[in-house]
Amino acid sequence: MSQFKSEFMNIMQERGFYNQCTNEQGFDDYLYACEKSGKPAVGYLGSDPTGDSLHVGHIVPLMMLRWFQKCGHKPIALVGGATARIGDPSGKDKLRPFLSEEVLAHNNQGLKKSFSKFLNFGNGATDAVMEDNWNWFKDINYLGFLRDVGTYYSVNRMLTMDSVKSRLEREQPMSFLEFNYMLLQGYDFCELYKKYGCRAQIAGSDQWGNITSGTELGRRKMDVELFGFTSPIITDASGKKMGKSEGNAVWINEEKLSSYDYYQYFRNIGDTEVGKCLRIYTDLPMEEILKLEALKDQEINEAKKVLAFEATKICRGESEAKAAQETAVKVFEQGVAGGELPKVKVEQIEGLGVLDAFLAIGFVESKGEARRLIKQNGLKINDKVVNDENYRLSAADIVNGEVKLSQGKKKHGLLY
């Protein structure tokens, strides 16, 4: 039996997206009324352009916004061109470095590309729109802002927000610039309400303080109820945040990460995370997910293959997902080099030392690390274990102009 009246809230609950809501019943009633009337609800997700691509850690709220659109509602993707100039203090120990106008413009384009992989943009009633908060902040008068917005905020309450409180408890300095961040995010919410009738903000749970800053401003300044809805922070069995792979971000944009590596990230998810990831990172219906997550022992690998394919299909398209899948089959099941493996060009293969080869392909950060892995039988050339740290690649290692290098069972690439 459904717990909620609205389709969106039931999907969020069933698939593990729901963490916290400013007014659960009120938000459910709002969504249900919109569903019944055929007039879409409007909600937004914001991201500061501090990089030129989102990564897997951003996908959870992004998938929430995707489901929001699938349920007949209108999503807004907000790029924080203004707030990126300050920096969100949430979870940070120091002030974010300042970015140039050129870098911000470049990053904005990258974020638009990331959002577009998960949302349908256009001019229709439920099509997503992209906004940049720089558009309304660039001409604001400071004294006017303090008078119109600052009067609604209590410093006493701001000091209790996790983003501020935790920083002060760690005795890490916080600039007045960063202290202003929640005022700006609150103002964003109100601007989007005035322009689009946006009444919902969707985000990860670490944004709760910033979200409630906006709902409070809406209530006090405009006498309207705005809603905040957050997802839990998704972790693996060891409690580590999902989205990092051996210290490297798993990027959404293909310029930053190959489709094969994106596929392999999900293919190598731990057994206990498969069901959770199928619910969150794919569009598969729950009936199919329940069957897949019930698989045990070796059969769970079949569920991982489905997860990897479906997650890659959403982010990179079906043809890229199929190519990554075929490469994985060639590499792991047929023992041959696949065409979609990461490739690195070197000046000359023949005579290249093995330590330099693994440095060139990026599987190690130093020759010392390569030496340690050789002692542990962790490096391979054309699927043969490297035993000699002084070994140099020869003509016999080159197959069709390429040499396959491997670190452990999961990292493979080609030098050419």
Give the pLDDT of residue 63: 97
| Residue found under tokens 């349908």 | 120
Question: Which portions of the chain are predicted below pLDDT 70?
Answer: 1-2, 86-97, 237, 243-248, 331-340
Give the pLDDT of residue 360: 83
CA distance 6 to 357: 56
CA distance 114 to 54: 6
CA 300 centroid distance within chain: 25
Q: Which two tokens stand for residue 54?
A: 């989102």
Three-state DSSP at 227 gives strand
Cβ pair 344, 357 in contact under 8 A: no
Give the pLDDT of residue 243: 62
Give the pLDDT of residue 204: 92
Give the pLDDT of residue 219: 94
Task: Write down the pTM of the prediction.
Answer: 0.79
Give the pLDDT of residue 93: 46
CA distance 231 to 65: 11
For helices 286-293 and 300-316, angle between their N-to-C axes, nearest 10 degrees? 140
Nearest CA-CA partner of 114 in 54, 63, 64, 43? 54
Cβ pair 106, 112 in contact under 8 A: no
CA distance 91 to 164: 9
CA distance 248 to 207: 23
